[in-house]
């Protein structure tokens, strides 16, 4: 990544640590070798669901696809080279008897209901984010996984962004020292506010002109692209949160199904290890991207995937910190990625990794990297954070949904 005109010095000790913790450390468990098992899976949701690569894994066959819209069904059939399609997920799981798993990319407000539907039919599940929208749904999701014993994976992209991989390796090796503070950011501007109202063909509307689930969604109800940079790096859980929100009188925040008055929300969180984390999710902002900053008593990492300055690492040798630009290893060649899948993909390359990890886990009969407990730990703090913002920043406890 380019730093432009910025000149930065680098300490030799920190350089050796970075080389040890990132260049030689595997990203995940290796892809299965010489396995004849084929995972037969379905893909539900023809928008985001068409951008993954399950079918390129040598141990996977996409055997069925579904979407409520005919145009998206046709798109899924083309992408996954699958002629077997259904007009709804309900019909698919009722009629298909030889499936192992389903990838759910349906509207976010339907995720838990569709996970339950699939698991009742004995199917492992890959789900788009967020995991759930309410605490009651969080409990139902955990119960579905624990009662069935099936595998669940949430497709959180920040877990496999290069900055997230790099920070996780540094943390596991002790490179940060005590990582006492993090800043987590997901900025996704809604664009021209007049067009937001008038463009009925945008994703904020259904084909019939009614508003989609995206219209007016509370920012902290979609927190995982930010929270993944903490839960997915250190494994910490959030104990309490205090949040504030900002909005205006635009119909997006004045007239929505969630009674949400905020375009942007910012939360200050306390972890179960006594650390601090600030989580921002903004819908109306002069900026874009998923990024984070991790500050430790031995070193800090500054992730800036918006391309403003580049990513930076700072070590603390005495009173004269030395800073260097980060050069990420070529993670796509990691053993967890089958050779047939070693190519660029969306969300910073993460979608290839997510596709591979889900199939690898099913073939190996193990839990995937972003399991149901990590998924809920990335999602629930945002739900409570929005409640806090609605009460003027009141500090609220965050319930745990770890293994019961």
242 with 332, same domain? yes
The CATH number assigned to the domain holding 384 equals 3.30.360.10
114 with 128, same domain? yes
Domain end, chosen from 106, 140, 156, is at 156
Nearest residue to 372 via CA among 75, 108, 145: 145
Domain end, chosen from 121, 156, 191, is at 156
24 within a domain of the structure (yes/no): no
Domain end, chosen from 156, 187, 208, is at 156
What are the tens digits of pLDDT across the range 179-231? Answer: 999 999 999 999 999 999 999 999 999 999 999 999 999 999 999 999 999 99
Q: What is the reported pLDDT for 308?
A: 46
355 within a domain of the structure (yes/no): no
Q: Residue 287 — very low, low, confident or very high, per pLDDT cuts 50/70/90? A: confident
**Full DSSP string of 111-153:** HHHHHHHHHHTT-EEEEPSPS-SSHHHHHHHHHHHHHH---EE
What are the tens digits of pLDDT across the range 343-370? Answer: 999 888 899 999 999 999 999 999 999 9
Backbone angles phi, psi at 267, to 5 degrees: -125, 140
**301 CB contacts (<8 Å, ≥6 apart)?**
163, 166, 167, 170, 176, 293, 294, 311, 312, 313, 314, 326
164 with 146, same domain? no
Residue 279 has pLDDT above 60, yes or no: yes
Domain count, the chain: 2
70 with 126, same domain? yes
Give Cα 20 to chain centroid, integer Å: 27
Residue 328 has pLDDT above 60, yes or no: yes
140 with 184, same domain? no
Q: What is the reported pLDDT for 10?
A: 33
Q: Residue 394 — very low, low, confident or very high, per pLDDT cuts 50/70/90? A: very high
**Domain limits at 162?**
158-341+371-397
306 with 275, same domain? yes
What are the tens digits of pLDDT across the range 247-264? Answer: 999 999 999 999 999 999
237 with 323, same domain? yes
Preceding amide of 399 cis, omega within 30? no
DSSP H/E element including 41: strand 39-44
Residue for token digits 């030395």?
322
Residue 288 has pLDDT above 90, yes or no: no
**Full DSSP string of 141-206:** HHHHHHHH---EEE--GGGGSHHHHHHHHHHHHTTTSSEEEEEEEEEE----HHHHHH-TTSTTB-
Residue 5 has pLDDT above 80, yes or no: no
**137 CB contacts (<8 Å, ≥6 apart)?**
112
210 with 313, same domain? yes
Residue 15 has pLDDT above 60, yes or no: no
149 with 277, same domain? no
What are the tens digits of pLDDT across the range 113-150? Answer: 999 999 999 999 999 999 999 999 999 999 999 999 99
107 with 178, same domain? no
- 3-class DSSP state of 313: strand
Beta bridge partners of 315: 299, 322
Q: What is the reported pLDDT for 21?
A: 52
116 with 213, same domain? no
pTM, whole model, 2 decimals? 0.91
55 with 141, same domain? yes
351 within a domain of the structure (yes/no): no
Question: Which is it for strands 179-188 and 276-282: parallel, antiparallel or unpaired?
Answer: parallel
Sign of the CA dihedral 392, 393, 396, 400?
positive
Sign of the CA dihedral 3, 331, 381, 289?
positive
Mean pLDDT across 167-188: 95
Cβ–Cβ < 8 Å for 236, 272:
yes
Question: Which is it for strands 238-246 and 264-271: parallel, antiparallel or unpaired?
Answer: antiparallel
Cβ–Cβ < 8 Å for 8, 312:
yes
């Amino acid at each position: 990544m380019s730093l432009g005109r910025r000149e930065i010095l680098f300490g030799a000790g920190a350089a050796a640590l970075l080389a040890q913790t990132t260049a030689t450390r595997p990203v995940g468990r290796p892809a299965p070798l010489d396995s004849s098992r084929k995972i037969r899976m379905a893909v539900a949701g023809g928008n985001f669901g068409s951008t993954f690569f399950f079918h390129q894994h040598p141990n996977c066959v996409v055997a069925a696809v579904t979407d409520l819209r005919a145009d998206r069904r046709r798109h899924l059939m083309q992408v996954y080279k699958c002629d077997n399609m259904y007009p709804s997920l309900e019909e698919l799981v009722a009629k298909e008897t030889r499936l192992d798993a389903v990838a759910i990319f349906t509207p976010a407000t339907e995720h838990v209901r569709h996970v339950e539907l699939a698991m009742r039919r004995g199917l492992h599940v890959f789900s788009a984010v967020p995991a759930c929208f309410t605490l009651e749904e969080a409990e139902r999701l955990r119960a579905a996984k624990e009662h069935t014993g099936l595998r669940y994976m949430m497709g959180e992209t920040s877990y496999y962004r290069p900055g997230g991989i790099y920070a996780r390796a540094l943390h596991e090796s002790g490179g940060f020292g005590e990582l006492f503070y993090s800043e987590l950011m997901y900025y996704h501007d809604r664009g021209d506010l007049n067009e937001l109202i008038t463009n009925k063909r945008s994703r904020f509307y259904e084909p019939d002109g009614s508003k989609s689930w995206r219209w007016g969604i509370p920012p902290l109800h979609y927190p995982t692209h930010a929270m993944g940079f903490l839960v997915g790096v250190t494994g910490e859980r959030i104990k309490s949160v205090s949040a504030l929100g900002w909005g205006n009188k635009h119909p997006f925040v004045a007239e929505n199904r969630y009674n949400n008055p905020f375009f942007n929300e910012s939360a200050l969180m306390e972890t179960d290890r006594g650390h601090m984390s600030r989580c921002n999710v903004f819908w109306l902002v002069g900026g874009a991207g998923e990024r984070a900053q991790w500050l430790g008593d031995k070193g800090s990492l500054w992730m800036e995937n918006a391309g403003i300055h580049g990513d930076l690492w700072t070590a603390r040798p005495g009173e004269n910190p030395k800073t260097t630009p980060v050069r990420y290893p070529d993670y796509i060649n990691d053993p967890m990625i089958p050779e047939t899948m070693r190519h660029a993909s969306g969300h910073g390359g993460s979608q290839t990794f997510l596709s591979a990890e889900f199939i690898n886990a099913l073939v190996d009969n193990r839990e995937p990297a972003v399991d149901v407990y990590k998924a809920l730990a990335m999602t629930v703090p945002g739900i409570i954070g929005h409640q806090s913002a609605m009460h003027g920043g009141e500090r609220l406890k965050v319930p745990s949904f770890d293994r019961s």
